[in-house]
Amino acid sequence: MKRIYSVISVILIVLLFGLTLVGCRRDNKDNQNDQGNDEENNQDYDQSNDKANDQDEDSYFREYSAFFAVPGNELPMNNRVMNAIAEVTGGKVNMTWLTEQTVSERIGVMVAGGEYPDFIDGSAGTAMLIEAGALIPIDEYWDDYPNIKNYLSKNQWNKIRKEDGHIYIIPQFGIIQGKETATNHEDEAFWIQKAVLEWADYPKLKSIDEFFDIVYRYVDENPEIEGQSTLGFTVYSNDWRYFGLENPPMFLAGYPNDGVCIVDPETITAYNYNTIDEAYHYFKKLNQVYNDGYFDASAFTDSYDQYISKISSGRVVGMVDQHWNFQTAEETLKSAGLVERTYVPQPITLDADTIDRWYSPSVLDASNGIGISTSCENPEEALQFINDLLSPEVMILRYWGEEGIDYFVGEDEVFYRTEKQRKQREDTKWVGENLCSYDYFPHYEGMLADGINTVKPSEQPGEFRKTLTETDRKLLDAYGFINFLDFLNTDVENSDWFPMWSFTNTWTGETDYGIAKIKMDEIKHEWLPKVIMASTADFDSTWEQYQNLLTTEVDLEVYEATLTEEARRRVAVAQGVDRVE
């Protein structure tokens, strides 16, 4: 009888509060007995699996939908930490990611249909979403959500504000709380396998010739890895992520990742890097590598999934890419016990005398972020969810997990983990079932609000060294480095205009400079593979055809002038203007 009354009570509660839950599905949590053990010294952490199912069946969470226009891994809705976060926030998110289609195709379909998930990060399609009126103006609501409003400074928010005076997106990355604590390079670099560096007795590579020399020698002596033919060098060359193919000349010349140009620091003048001398010498080198048989022959036809699968096999010696673009492949390698086949960034420039600028301190990306769509029937609740995600309590849940299960707290209030807890995070299946960082929602990097612990466990001074495998410790010790960022030049500051790619991300094909960029990308997509695959004898003539198309079919003058104007505007703002109306 009590059970009947309980069910009736639930029905009445749902009816009474149904209006507050519109636009969000409800998730009924399964009721299971908790058989976990909270004792610190108990090395059996199977309690994490039990706790994932230990939920009160009479409790309901708001369920939001979200789409992120980047590749990612979907989480089961009974994920343990997702449920723990829901206990605090009252909501959880069904997250979907980009598959098969390009960003423009997927966002284009949404815009054409006029239907959107509650939360959306359009990546390179963000400008399209804003133009279509798909996102709500967050600044009209945020006075009631202090964690959101105080997430950025007034000047930072003004960088995101659109011409109509409104703010439609919240950036998720590069927002440092306290101080930077990174121990790994997450951006672009030339990468080489740890096993290769050990095989070569830990050389210090600097020039592009030194990099490819070690690739050649390793492939010659190791024609197979894990039973498959060894691939010397590869790149990803399709869709918007073809940066590893087209932008290395910028870095090889010693410039930071402005992405769409290089900027003369003396005159604050922007130039495209496709026609500089370093571009010619670099692609001539790749042409040689290709004709010598050390360049991956299928690099220009592989889909993204094929690219990741290839790296996950452990047989790719080196490549150039953003770390976040192939990180899932490294996670697979670690889960398979192939840490020696994961990668280390190298400070490669065209010659050994140029100072590398592969590393840049964290910076606000004003062009990308997460927005709340006009299809969300209760934007106030959605904003409250984000507001709660930024709270100190939930930030700990997102990145450290649950106290007593995923980490412990010492007498000095410093978080720490057992060896078993560290090992669990190397198991991608376990992570998918138990941890939920909501990484593509707004979050802080660096330090937690307590000022004692880092946001990420792997960056905690007492934890970093303990997370290293024997391969990693041996590697760092051989070079005399503390962490993997030490492989690169980190004694740098961002210029006032940096990064220029955050400006071009907002361009469309409705302007002359936007058309110039679209045409430039089309030419590079088509011709850089031709340049690399040309016969040695035909390289120069093929290069000349490519350069001729860039200079005759692309309005480089308006392209560079527009970038120069924006770079100088940003410098002016940094020199004291709080808001540009």
What was the pLDDT predicted at 6? 37
pLDDT-based confidence at 240, cuts 50/70/90? confident
C-alpha angle with apex 560: 559 to 565, nearest 5 degrees?
105
- Percent of the chain whose pLDDT exceeds 90: 80
What number is the average pLDDT over the span 114-120?
A: 98
What was the pLDDT predicted at 59? 56
What was the pLDDT predicted at 577? 52
What was the pLDDT predicted at 575? 78
What was the pLDDT predicted at 571? 92
What was the pLDDT predicted at 316? 98
Q: Are residues 334 and 446 in the same domain?
A: no
What is the gyration radius of the CA atoms in the chain, in angstroms? Answer: 25
Residue 498 lies in a domain: no
Among 402, 432, 464, the domain boundary falls at 464
Q: Cis ω on the peptide bond leading into residue 499 (within 30° of 0)?
A: yes
Residue 174 lies in a domain: yes
| pLDDT (tens digit per residue) in 132-142 | 999 999 999 99
Q: Which among 323, 276, 272, 256 is positioned nearest to 498, based on CA atoms?
A: 256
Contacts of residue 465, defined as CB under 8 A and 6 or more positions apart, other chains included, come to 473
What was the pLDDT predicted at 87? 97
What was the pLDDT predicted at 14? 35
Integer Cα distance of 259 and 246 in angstroms: 10
Residue 333 lies in a domain: yes
Among 413, 441, 464, the domain boundary falls at 464
What was the pLDDT predicted at 77? 96
What number is the average pLDDT over the span 348-367?
A: 94
Global pTM exceeds 0.75:
yes
Q: Are residues 385 and 351 in the same domain?
A: no
Among 442, 464, 486, the domain boundary falls at 464
Q: Are residues 167 and 201 in the same domain?
A: no
Mean pLDDT, the chain, whole residue set = 90
Q: Are residues 197 and 310 in the same domain?
A: yes
The answer to whether residues 56 and 47 touch, using CB atoms and an 8 Å cutoff, is no
Q: Are residues 394 and 339 in the same domain?
A: no
Per-residue pLDDT for 31 more than 60? no
Per-residue pLDDT for 155 more than 80? yes
Q: 3-class DSSP state for residue 353?
A: coil
Residue 433 lies in a domain: yes
Q: Are residues 155 and 253 in the same domain?
A: no
Take residue 208 and report the two structure tokens written for it: 């592009």
Contacts of residue 265, defined as CB under 8 A and 6 or more positions apart, other chains included, come to 495
Integer Cα distance of 204 and 346 in angstroms: 9
More confident residue, 364 or 357: 357
Per-residue pLDDT for 261 more than 90? yes
Q: Are residues 207 and 343 in the same domain?
A: yes
Cα end-to-end span (Å), the chain: 66
What was the pLDDT predicted at 568? 96
Residue-range definition of the domain harbouring residue 544: 188-358+507-574
Residue 219 lies in a domain: yes
What was the pLDDT predicted at 576? 66
Per-residue pLDDT for 581 more than 50? no
Residue 492 lies in a domain: no
Q: Are residues 138 and 85 in the same domain?
A: yes
What was the pLDDT predicted at 172? 97
Integer Cα distance of 284 and 444 in angstroms: 42
Residue 478 lies in a domain: no
How many domains is the chain built from?
2
Per-residue pLDDT for 216 more than 90? yes
What number is the average pLDDT over the span 555-576?
A: 92
CATH number for position 63:
3.40.190.10
Specify the DSSP class assigned to residue 239: G
Residue 104 lies in a domain: yes
Q: Are residues 47 and 98 in the same domain?
A: yes
Edge-to-edge strand list for the sheet holding 343-346: 231-234, 316-322, 188-193, 343-346
Q: What one-letter code names the amino acid at 482?
A: I
Q: Are residues 204 and 67 in the same domain?
A: no
The answer to whether residues 368 and 129 touch, using CB atoms and an 8 Å cutoff, is no
Per-residue pLDDT for 46 more than 60? no
Q: Are residues 118 and 264 in the same domain?
A: no
Q: Are residues 533 and 443 in the same domain?
A: no
| pLDDT (tens digit per residue) in 272-283 | 999 999 999 999
What number is the average pLDDT over the span 397-422?
A: 97
What was the pLDDT predicted at 40? 43
